[in-house]
Amino acid sequence: MLFIAVRSSKGSPELMRASADILVEFPSPTAKDIRRTIELVTQRPCPALPSSLGSGLGFQTIAAAIRPGTTPASCIKRLHQARERLRDEPSAASTPPLAELHGYGEAMDWGLRLMSDLESWRKGKLAFEALDRMVVLAGPPGVGKTTFVRSLAKSSGLPLHASSVADWFSSSNGYLDGVIKAMDGLFARAQADAPAVVLLDEIDAIPDRSALDSRHREWWTTMVGRMLTILDGASDHSNRLVVIGTTNYPDRLDSALVRPGRLSRIIRIEPPEAKALFGILRQRVGHDLTDQELHRIALLAVGGTGADVAGWVGSARAVARSQGRPMVAADLIHQIAPVPDLPFSVIRRVAVHESGHAVLASTLAIGRVESVRITGVGSSGGNTLVADAFKPLMTLSDIRDLAVFILAGRAAEMVVLGDASSGAGGSQDSDLAKATRLIAANHLSYGFGDGLGYLADEAGLMTALARDPSLRSIVDRDLGTIFQRALAIAQRHALQIAAVADALIERRLLTGDELRRMLDVGRDAVEPKEPGNG
């Protein structure tokens, strides 16, 4: 006689369900059941419990809260804490299916492939160990790494066991043995629920051993070693676990964590582009706004994350509610890009600067301008969004045109306003920094200088410039020539730059189509390519 226990019949292979003679489903334990169990385990009387205490808690969670050698009061406290954590987590009903998420790129491809493979496993067509099931999701805060994992678990029909290093400390005595027991407990509970998903949130809190100082190395090395052993076990063919780590800082991970057989690779999730933001906005807004309104809002929201969208929509709805009316597009726009409290002269300068980028991108046929704005996410400045500005393979002429486009904002300020501001420089992401790196790469990486030697990668370009005065002089000479060309083109299109700037001051954002209609760019209006060498 063979008995097989599973958390849910949905989590077992179809072949097993079809061949079973009897399927027995046990109801969740009642408050009376939990009380009697506490008394049996602790050998002490337990007071009456609220009827909802165990509601929503799995068997393993309840069992982990009721420990021998402790008091009924401490068991009840742990059950209440488990209920609080359950309330803090998004409900299954509020978690969207994986296929309805937007902006996840490679992570979405991996997740959908895993779901397909899980279905093949359930049908007996694929061994579980053949699944690509142990990865790290990396990306900046707010891009939805945890949401992705919850959606994957829900859509796959697998229970989710989520934890973090902070949880292991808070749920234990904080000493090494207690933290390791908490780690072991997480995977033991998941294995009892297998097949299951394990989420190791903020896994970079497990430190890179090579970066530890001597005072803490022994303590953390033991913990890291235990985690490596656990991951080795989780990848074994007998353990049916999907293990996903998340991190904002993939460069801080111990190299032994992210190798085949453990967390096999790092999948990056970047902030969503305009198309994905439109989908996220539509999910949050429902049918309250039109597609046309949301397309414009999505362009304004570029630079934001899914978490930002949730906050913006919530705040916009609250404002509308307080005024006793439905939410309108202006409510959402105000949350995403509030009108900057700046002097008009500053707003006009920003508009002229961005107009210069947009007009010269169009006249030089640099990619395709998707939008230009003078206010938006994260700053009081502007942004010109150009698709496909960087080609996979570029000639010297392409690179020089791209550098002209990068310096076009500063050139437009000088042509229209009579002088330039500091807006083109000041940071490693500034126009001047980008143009400098691009031209330095001509001489150090691309073979477009006096020699063909490969002398520096992208990360080493600025260091090479700092160390070589003659190279600095050559790059500065090239930048000067390119800027003079940018000035000449801006002078020829000064009226267009001023007109686009005026429109930006009035509307704050122009779509690519609106810009092209204003410029009415035809074949004759496109600037000729500057000849280059090979």
Distance CA 175, CA 177 (A): 6
Of 49-58, 128-137, 516-525, the one with minimum mean pLDDT is: 516-525
Q: What is the mean pLDDT of residues 318-323?
A: 94
Closest CA to 6 of 23, 31, 30, 29: 23
The pLDDT assigned to 323 comes to 95
The pLDDT assigned to 11 comes to 46
Of 104-113, 257-266, 322-331, 412-421, the one with minimum mean pLDDT is: 257-266
Q: Is the preceding peptide bond at 195 cis, omega within 30 degrees of 0?
A: yes
Q: Which two tokens stand for residue 257?
A: 């964590």
Q: Is the dihedral of CA 183, 186, 192, 193 positive or negative?
A: negative
More confident residue, 236 or 156: 156
- Output the CA angle 416-419-422, nearest 5 degrees: 115
534: pLDDT confidence band, cut at 50, 70 and 90?
Answer: very low
pLDDT of residue 78 exceeding 90: no
Q: Is the dihedral of CA 377, 381, 386, 388 positive or negative?
A: negative
Q: Which two tokens stand for residue 106?
A: 């490679």
SS (H, E, C) 407-427: CHHHHHHHHHHCCCCHHHCCC
Q: What average pLDDT does the chain have?
A: 86
Residue that has been written with the tokens 């497990």 in this structure: 206
Q: What is the mean pLDDT of residues 101-124?
A: 92
pLDDT of residue 130 exceeding 50: yes
- Find which of 165-179, 192-206, 349-363, 456-470 is predicted with most confidence, using mean pLDDT: 349-363
pLDDT of residue 530 exceeding 80: no
Tell how many helices (H) and how many strands (E) occur in the chain: 21, 8
90: pLDDT confidence band, cut at 50, 70 and 90?
Answer: low
**Domains of the chain by range and CATH?**
29-88 (no CATH), 98-268 (3.40.50.300), 274-336 (1.10.8), 344-525 (1.20.58.760)
Of 166-175, 338-347, 365-374, 514-523, the one with minimum mean pLDDT is: 514-523
Residue 134, φ and ψ in degrees, nearest 5: -135, 105
**E strand or H helix at 433:** helix 431-444
Contact predicate 413/349, CB 8 Å: yes
The pLDDT assigned to 2 comes to 54
Virtual torsion, Cα 452, 456, 462, 464, nearest 10 deg:
-80
Distance CA 306, CA 423 (A): 29
Quote the strand ranges of 255-388, DSSP E: 266-268, 368-373, 383-387
Share of the chain above pLDDT 70, in %: 88
503: pLDDT confidence band, cut at 50, 70 and 90?
Answer: very high
Which DSSP symbol is given to 191?
Answer: H
Q: What is the mean pLDDT of residues 483-490?
A: 97
Closest CA to 302 of 429, 422, 427, 387: 387
Q: What is the mean pLDDT of residues 151-178?
A: 86
In angstroms, what CA-CA distances link 85 with 57, 88, 132, 488? 10, 5, 30, 63
Q: Which two tokens stand for residue 205?
A: 């809190």
The pLDDT assigned to 55 comes to 67
pLDDT of residue 153 exceeding 60: yes
The pLDDT assigned to 339 comes to 76
Q: What is the mean pLDDT of residues 340-358?
A: 91
pLDDT of residue 381 exceeding 80: no
Q: What is the mean pLDDT of residues 483-506?
A: 95
pLDDT of residue 23 exceeding 50: yes
Q: What is the mean pLDDT of residues 157-181?
A: 85
Alpha helices in 14-96 (DSSP H): 14-19, 31-42, 59-65, 72-88
pLDDT of residue 206 exceeding 80: yes
**E strand or H helix at 423:** none
The pLDDT assigned to 16 comes to 53
The pLDDT assigned to 303 comes to 83
pLDDT of residue 220 exceeding 80: yes
Quote the strand ranges of 130-227, DSSP E: 134-138, 160-164, 196-201
Q: What is the mean pLDDT of residues 37-57?
A: 84
Contact predicate 205/166, CB 8 Å: yes
In angstroms, what CA-CA distances link 250 with 135, 254, 305, 385, 491? 12, 9, 19, 27, 46
- Find which of 138-142, 165-169, 353-357 is predicted with most confidence, using mean pLDDT: 353-357
- In sequence order, the 6+-apart residues with CB closer than 8 A to the CB of 529 are 397, 401
More confident residue, 85 or 191: 191
pLDDT tens digits for 398-446?
999 999 999 999 999 999 999 999 989 988 889 999 999 999 999 999 9
Quote the strand ranges of 299-397, DSSP E: 368-373, 383-387
Distance CA 414, CA 421 (A): 9
- In sequence order, the 6+-apart residues with CB closer than 8 A to the CB of 431 are 406, 407, 409, 410, 424, 425
Cβ neighbour number for residue 127 with a 10 Å cutoff: 10
Q: Is the dihedral of CA 169, 171, 173, 178 positive or negative?
A: negative
522: pLDDT confidence band, cut at 50, 70 and 90?
Answer: very low
